[in-house]
Amino acid sequence: MPVQPTYPGVYIEELPSGVRTITGVATSITGFVGKAVRGPADQPVTITSFADYERVFGGLHRDMTLSYAVRDFFLNGGGQAVIVRLYKATAGSAAKATYEVPNLTLQAVSEGAWGMLVRARVEKKAATDPNLIAVATRLGVQPADLFDLIVRDGSTGITETFLNLTTKESARRADRVLLAESNLVRVTTTMPSNSSPTAHAGTSADADVWTSTTKSTPAKNAAPADIAVDSAVLDAAAYKGSQTGKTGLYQLEKVDLFNLLCILPDARGGDVPDDVYQEALSYCVKRRAMLIVDPKAAWATVGAAQSGVPGMNLNGDMARNAAIYFPRIKQADSQLGGQVETFVPCGVIAGVMARTDSRRGVWKAPAGLDASLSGVAGLQLDMTDAENGLLNPLGINCLRTFPVHGRVVWGSRTMRGADAAADEYKYVPVRRLALFLEESLYRGTQWVVFEPNDEPLWAQIRLNLGAFMHNLFRQGAFQGTAPRDAYFVKCDKETTTQNDINLGIVNIVVGFAPLKPAEFVIIKLQQMAGQIAT
């Protein structure tokens, strides 16, 4: 506020510049929805490498197509992914494995058969141990109340050791410690106040300690209802979940931002139900994201793709936020001894988009000879130019094989990109650039809310949005050789009338001239006639 002078002298007043920098949002954070071996089934997890996926979700598994897609994403240049693990319980079986430690019941941290290979052991030190007495005194419990818990994952060999736990109220109460520190188990029962777990026979160094039922506590498996199993077959309801309950693909409601969405089939050789894609597309429009659609397993010919895409009912204006790539890819499967198997391409495509964004920008089409498919041994169908020409006008992007260059992405149209639709967002880079601008400007203008709605505010808006658009122009995001040809930002008394002001509305109009990919290169060759003397 202005300085109030009270004495003769010099006063200093700092004036705000009015500049509020708008930062462009990320463009290639990819959401993956599907089944995994382990990991949270009710909370999306953000990862930045396939090593993260292996640590949290168990790595490659031949029955989990999600694992291959995530691997392909990072292999092709992806940088950040959000994993949504789906799990459907099986009637008559347990979702999580249970471990019966005397006076204490433990449970696997997440659903799945992996938990049946976890073993838990209780060990105790002598009650006369000076160190144990010192710890007990500090915690305010008796030495006999303290125990050590050792948990081992038989599938990975990872062992977790928790020293000086107790069931009594203290800083080392078992349920709190495991909740904060363990990646394998949780306490599921109320802490007993008058007893402590008894020690198992043998020591953790014994060769058979993790297999003997007398020396360790295996997952409870006396009755079929206590045997934890992997997810049942995912149906459309499991994929869709509930937007209110934030289940299924709507677990993504719990993350701030994602730009691309890949939905994996329940099993290799399977398909994602069409109504799941329809629901996901509607959600992507709401979240300003792109849906990457995989071709059906049965589309073994160009004709099958021609007739199959319209039947998916991914059309209308919403189809601007979807792109389909044909055919499926072939890769050597390390889980099957290196045999070449067929997989969906969405993970590879998302990785190519991320790589293109980082190298050239979201306005560059993720296609061409530079858009190579890393880790791909072949394609389900090798197409000719003529066959490619049948699909491209329908908005179906093709994956092609070229001599020297190998497998590449050879198409960049949205599912609204058919020639007959004549849509302004027929190209993937144009649509993704628009989504990038929308999300960046939405987040970068939150400060405008509740500001006095008059010319000083409008001038600030023009200044800040104009600076953001000009920076993109300098990076080559728009057409034109001068800013006035590339973009405009309009916010004044023409866009915001007095009636708008009375209603509390400020209208901002932003226009941009997008770059269109050179989809067809035409070279005209003419033979020159010799000079004729006259």
Tens digit of each residue's pLDDT (9 = 90 or more) over 360-390: 999 999 999 999 999 999 999 999 999 999 9
Is the peptide bond preceding residue 517 cis, with omega within 30 degrees of 0? no
All structural domains of the chain? 30-88+234-430 (3.40.50.11780), 98-226 (no CATH), 447-534 (no CATH)
Helices 428-444 and 455-474, packing angle to 10 deg: 140
142 vs 191: CA distance, rounded Å: 16
Q: Kindly indicate the confidence band of residue 199, based on its pLDDT and cuts at 50, 70 and 90.
A: confident
Question: Of 424, 412, 411, 419, whose CA–CA distance to 394 is shortest?
Answer: 419
347 vs 68: CA distance, rounded Å: 8
494 vs 38: CA distance, rounded Å: 57
Res 530: pLDDT: 67
49 vs 40: CA distance, rounded Å: 17
Question: Of 123, 516, 72, 149, whose CA–CA distance to 332 is shortest?
Answer: 72
Instruction: Give 519's contacts (C-beta < 8 A, 6+ positions apart).
Output: 392, 412, 427
User: What's the alpha-carbon Rg for the chain, to the nearest Å?
Assistant: 30
Query: 428 is written with which tokens?
Result: 């993937």
What does the pLDDT average to over 440-446?
96
- The answer to whether residues 403 and 384 touch, using CB atoms and an 8 Å cutoff, is no
Beta-sheet pairing, 185-187 with 329-333: unpaired
Kindly provide the residue ranges of all beta strands, DSSP E only, lying in 15-103, ordered along the sequence. 30-34, 45-47, 81-85, 98-101
Res 4: pLDDT: 86
Res 200: pLDDT: 84
Which of 14-23, 249-258, 274-283, 499-508 is the least confident region?
A: 14-23
- The answer to whether residues 39 and 45 touch, using CB atoms and an 8 Å cutoff, is yes
Distance of CA 38 to the CA centre of its chain: 17
378 vs 408: CA distance, rounded Å: 10
Res 195: pLDDT: 75
* Integer angstrom CA distances of residue 339 from 200, 267, 380: 45, 17, 15
Query: What is the DSSP-derived secondary structure letter of residue 166?
Result: B
Given its phi and psi angles, is residue 59 left (phi above 0), alpha (psi -120 to 50 degrees) or beta? left
Q: Kindly indicate the confidence band of residue 533, based on its pLDDT and cuts at 50, 70 and 90.
A: low
324 vs 413: CA distance, rounded Å: 8
Q: What is the pLDDT of residues 162-195, one digit of tens each?
A: 999 999 999 999 999 999 999 999 998 777 767 7
Query: 206 is written with which tokens?
Result: 């014994």
Whether the per-residue pLDDT at 53 is higher than 60: the answer is yes
Whether the per-residue pLDDT at 219 is higher than 90: the answer is no
Q: By CB neighbour count within 10 A (0-12 exposed, 13-18 middle, 19+ buried), where does 60 fall?
A: middle
Maximal CA-CA distance, the chain: 121
Query: 76 is written with which tokens?
Result: 């092709």
Query: What is the DSSP-derived secondary structure letter of residue 21?
Result: P
What does the pLDDT average to over 255-274?
97
Per-residue buried b or exposed e for 142-169, using 16+ beta carbons within 10 Å of the residue's own CB? ebebbbbbbbbbeebeeebebebbbbbe
Whether the per-residue pLDDT at 486 is higher than 60: the answer is yes
What does the pLDDT average to over 240-258?
97
What does the pLDDT average to over 512-523?
90
264 vs 291: CA distance, rounded Å: 12
Per-residue buried b or exposed e for 411-438, using 16+ beta carbons within 10 Å of the residue's own CB? bbbbbbbbeebebebbbbbbbbbbbbbe
Whether the per-residue pLDDT at 297 is higher than 70: the answer is yes
Instruction: Give 436's contacts (C-beta < 8 A, 6+ positions apart).
Output: 24, 25, 27, 362
Res 146: pLDDT: 93
The DSSP secondary structure of 422-472, one letter per residue, reads --TT-BHHHHHHHHHHHHHHHHHTGGGTTS--SHHHHHHHHHHHHHHHHHH
Whether the per-residue pLDDT at 355 is higher than 60: the answer is yes
Query: 438 is written with which tokens?
Result: 């929308």
